[in-house]
């Protein structure tokens, strides 16, 4: 959204107090960057949480479909995998409302931080002389104002919308538009363990039929 290279040394998830020694507008832009990142993370995390259930639904359907046309041994393994996936899905569905509420709180806090910083930036743009030494003197005044204006370019709602779109696009790229991914890769977390096992079983059953 704006030039992170100017603020690369700030580090992740810093509080307002940690910016106390910085130039005021420079610190405001850094806080805006961090708040925007937190908002994007909350939005992406919610999309990913919902996608877990979608992926598991696809895995269950794949297991059931392949069990119907596999030999007895593979069919039994696939049915067991589907049962494990149903348990996993039930657990995820139970915790999803709590996760959504948590992400909503994160989103609201990040939006409030963004709005507060943007109010400060706009006030400085309207009256640049109101703050003494707002920026590092190595940055030209016109460049500093341009950076502040860039920080006002996107509203919290626009940042959230972009984050949701980006998260959906990444998920689509990962799955190539399919709910089921049977590639032989290790599970990235325990949440996906049952899905990974089921995927390997589906892949094995399909390979034996060819």
Structural domain for 83, as ranges: 21-208
pLDDT digits (tens, 9 = 90+) for 152-197: 888 888 888 888 888 888 777 665 544 434 343 333 333 334 444 5
Structurally, how many domains does the chain consist of? 1
Write the DSSP assignment of the chain as a string of letters. ---GGGGGGG-SS--SGGGTTS-HHHHHHHHHHHHHHHHHHHHHHHHHHHHHHHHHHHHHHHHHHHHTTS-HHHHHHHHHHHHHHHHHHHHHHHHHHHHHHHHHHHHHHHHHHHHHHHHHHHHHHH-GGGSSS-S-TTS-HHHHHHHHHHHTSS-HHHHHHHHHHHHHHHHHHHHTT-S--------SSGGGHHHHHHHHHHHHHHHHT-
Domain assignment present for residue 13? The answer is no
Kindly state whether residue 5 falls inside one of the protein's structural domains.
no
Does residue 10 belong to any structural domain of this protein?
no
pLDDT at position 115 over 90? yes
The more confidently predicted of residues 21 and 46 is: 46
pTM: 0.66
Confidence bin at 145 (pLDDT 50/70/90): confident
- Whether 4 is covered by a domain: the verdict is no
């Amino acid at each position: 959204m704006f030039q992170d290279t100017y603020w690369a040394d700030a580090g992740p998830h810093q509080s307002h107090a940690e910016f106390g020694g910085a130039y005021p507008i420079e610190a405001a832009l850094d806080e805006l960057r961090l708040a925007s990142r937190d908002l994007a993370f909350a939005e992406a995390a919610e999309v990913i949480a919902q996608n877990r259930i979608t992926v598991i639904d696809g895995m269950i359907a794949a297991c059931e479909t392949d069990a119907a046309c596999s030999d007895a041994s593979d069919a039994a393994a696939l049915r067991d995998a589907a049962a494990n996936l149903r348990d996993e899905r039930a657990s995820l569905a139970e915790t999803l409302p709590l996760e959504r509420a948590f992400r909503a709180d994160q989103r609201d806090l990040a939006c409030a931080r963004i709005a507060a910083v943007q109010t400060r930036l706009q006030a400085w743009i309207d009256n640049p002389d109101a703050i003494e030494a707002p920026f590092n003197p190595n940055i030209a005044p016109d460049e500093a104002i341009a950076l502040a204006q860039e920080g006002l370019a996107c509203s919290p709602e626009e940042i959230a919308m972009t984050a949701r779109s980006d998260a959906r696009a990444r998920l689509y790229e990962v799955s190539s538009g399919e709910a089921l991914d049977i590639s032989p890769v290790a599970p990235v977390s325990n949440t996906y363990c049952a899905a990974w096992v089921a995927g390997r079983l589906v892949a094995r059953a399909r390979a034996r039929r060819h």
